[in-house]
Structure 1
Amino acid sequence: MLKKEIPVLLMLVVTLFSGAQNTTLISENQEPISYATISFGNGNGLFADDAGQFYFTKKLYSDIDSLYISALGYKKLTLSTINLPSTIVLESKVSKLQEIIISGLPKGKFKIEEIEPITHDDYFKCWLPTIESEIAVFFPNESAHIKRLKTLEIPIKVESKNWGDRKQKTSEKRPFSTLFKVNFYENANGFPGEVITYDKIVFIATEKNEDIYELDVLDHNLIMPKEGLFISLQVLGYTDNKGKLLPNKKYQEVKTKRGIVKVSTTFRPLLPFTDDIVEKRTFVKRVFLNGGAWVRYEKENIDNSNLLKAGLNNYGLGFKMEVYKTEE
């Protein structure tokens, strides 16, 4: 049954976007700008793919008159959706990144230490990722040793909520392929501040993954700042079987007594939350709203959260790191 549905779904996507505007973002030196943010100015938006392309059509977004484009290292740009060009050049800006990098590659002997991830199997104790939300976890630096991040240990829940009720052990899980972007931020007075690297660090999670997704980040040479750092996850959207972002609409329009309400699409896998961490280390922001301001994930800042009502304040992200011996 599933195999028959997939071609129909792909046909609908192709038909729906056959009249879409395919726009590419490039830098001044003609390089594509990957995973840029395209905001609609109303709390919604989408992202460019790895080749700097995004898809916009008035058939889907009839009420959108302007696009607000931003990307790390480039000046923000506002464009009218009328006669949208096929290629847009973003102007680079002076970066503060070199001020944030605190050391080069560590040398000498090291040992591997781990901050263990925390996971569980309860569907109702999980965060439902949406396009407009980014979630970050703070990790303090608890010693003077040089530490380089080796792997991220990312808790995920891939099964649907009724998976445990299925009688056939051989039943296939519903397939999905979701692209995540990982960001690293300095600690700015207890909140996520400037980015630590402009590297595009992404991974794809599918129904075949285990409870912990291990992402190798060693080649990015991420050194733990003395003030600690924030590690965040951001959903970019579903992908095709080649890992390219699909041009799906990122929200649904629901008719209510107050008019049309735009409800953001949720994406699998889910992110398990925990009450095993005493400190409130988890922060969230709405990428397309309120200027992307971060707030601590607690009742004082978040309304109507079932997770917070259950006392679940934190996402149990973990990682392994190389800890280098201090020179005597």
Structure 2
Amino acid sequence: MKTIVLLTFLCLASSVWGQRHTILDQEDNTPISYATISFGNGNGLFADEDGKFLFYQKWYSDIDSLYISALGYKEKALATQKLPKTILLEKDVSELKEVFLVSEKKRKYKTKKISSEIHDDYFKCWLPTVESEISVYFPKPYEKDTKIATVYLPVKMEESNRRSGQKQRFSTLFKMQFYSKGKDGYPDKRLPYENIIFEITDEDKANFELDIEEYGVYMPKEGLFISIQVLGYTDKNGKLEQTKKYSEIETRKGIVKVPTTFRPLLPFTDKQEGYQTYTRRIFFKNRTWQRFDPNYSKNNNLLKIGHTNYGMGVKYYLYEED
């Protein structure tokens, strides 16, 4: 009897924990950090720093295929019924050719700062989900070499306007990327800088300062877009938690999948001119950018009150001649 119970327990444990998979480079078997795993229906998740992700069939019973992608690699489609424990991705030579290294020199520079726009109103904030990537356009402020030293990210820690006595703890992992400006004014090609992975917790300030000087990000003459994207909450060791990123709600029209929102919230502002903020759903195949303007949605509350831009700020180094 004990043997039967033990075997039953092991089978159940295997059905839960045996669904962990690892994404590796096909050539050298090194982990591919924070790869994107799309379900093909607008939902998905991310691998962690070690290229691992959890796919539990009970969570995603309606998903029959996964589409796995990462910067510098060819996308791979796999059936969920025969999902291997180890998934190998092939390098994309066309993307790798674009990567370059910037030679840093010690030069004199002046500092220019564009302040972020901060407020603490829940109803004027964007609610982040793992589905959405937000980018903000910054024109080049100077004809000569211009380097981005710091990015200022306004954040709201509480998930409502109510101030309770007990502080709600959280630790959220984000990814930052950079894009060129296309001829249509929208974000275009991803610029060849490495992903910047960073963590924001409830202990941070409302004006979160991210030092990116070491990454050597220089402004193209047409300016660039800076994007941020939620990866998910982390555990106490700073590792990305593998949890379900949406809930299912039954309606008259059937089951609706509602994305989980994460803290911190992102304050949008009406104090910046024009429409400089763009968003996209990263788990869709085409991943089309949309400008956050009245054409984006007639029902969006932020647009109704004129809060059309995420109030991101930056600090530049404006270099003098050699």
- The two structures have a TM-score, normalised by structure 2, of 0.91
State which of 265, 268, 277 in structure 1 corresponds to 2:260: 265
Deviations 1:163-205 (A, max 9, x none): 43x4xxxx33111111110011111221112222341311111
Q: Which residue of 1 aligns with 2:271?
A: 276
Say if 1:90 and 1:217 are closer, same or farther in 2 by CA, change over 3 A. same
- Over the aligned positions, Cα root-mean-square deviation in angstroms equals 1.9
Aligned counterparts of 1:47 and 1:101: Cα–Cα separation in 2: 26
How do 1:1-328 and structure 2 match up within 5 A?
18-27=16-25, 28-96=27-95, 99=98, 104-164=103-163, 166=164, 171-189=165-183, 190-289=185-284, 291-326=286-321
Q: What displacement does 1:145 show?
A: 1.9
- Which blocks of at least 5 consecutive residues in structure 2 are unaligned? 1-12
What is the rounded CA distance, in whole Å, between the counterparts of 2:268 and 2:132 in structure 1?
15
Change (3 A) 1:291 1:283: same
Following the alignment from structure 2 to structure 1, what is the Cα–Cα distance between the partners of residues 247 and 201? 23
Q: Which amino acid aligns with 1:265?
A: T
Deviates more, 1:187-196 or 1:91-100: 91-100
Inter-partner Cα distance in structure 2 for 1:243 and 1:16: 26
Q: What is the percentage of aligned positions where both structures have the same residue?
A: 50
Structure 1 gap ranges (5+):
1-14
Residues 107, 319 of structure 2: 8 Å contact kept: yes
Task: Give the secondary-structure state (helix, strand or coil) at the position aligned to 2:249.
Answer: strand
Q: Residues of 1 paired with 2:168 and 2:248: CA distance?
A: 25
Amino acid across the alignment from 1:80: A
Deviation track 1:49-86 (CA, whole Å, cap 9, x = no partner) reads: 11111110111000100001111100010000012111
Q: CA deviation at 1:106?
A: 4.7
Q: Is the 8 A contact 1:137 1:315 kept in 2?
A: yes
Q: Output the TM-score relative to the length of structure 1.
A: 0.89
Paired AA for residue 25 in structure 1: I
Counterpart of 2:245 in structure 1: which amino acid?
K
Number of residue pairs matched?
308
Cα distance in structure 2, aligned partners of 1:71 and 1:17: 27
- SS of the residue corresponding to residue 226 of structure 1 reads coil
> AA paired with 1:182?
M
Tell me, yes or no, if the aligned pair for 1:36 and 1:48 is still in contact at 8 Å.
yes
3-state SS of paired residue (1:173): coil
Deviations 1:221-278 (A, max 9, x none): 1111111000001000111011111111111100000000001110000000001111
Q: How far does residue 326 in structure 1 lie from its aligned partner after superposition?
A: 3.4
State the 1:95 CA deviation: 3.8
Residues 99 and 89 of structure 1, relative CA distance in 2, 3 Å threshold? closer
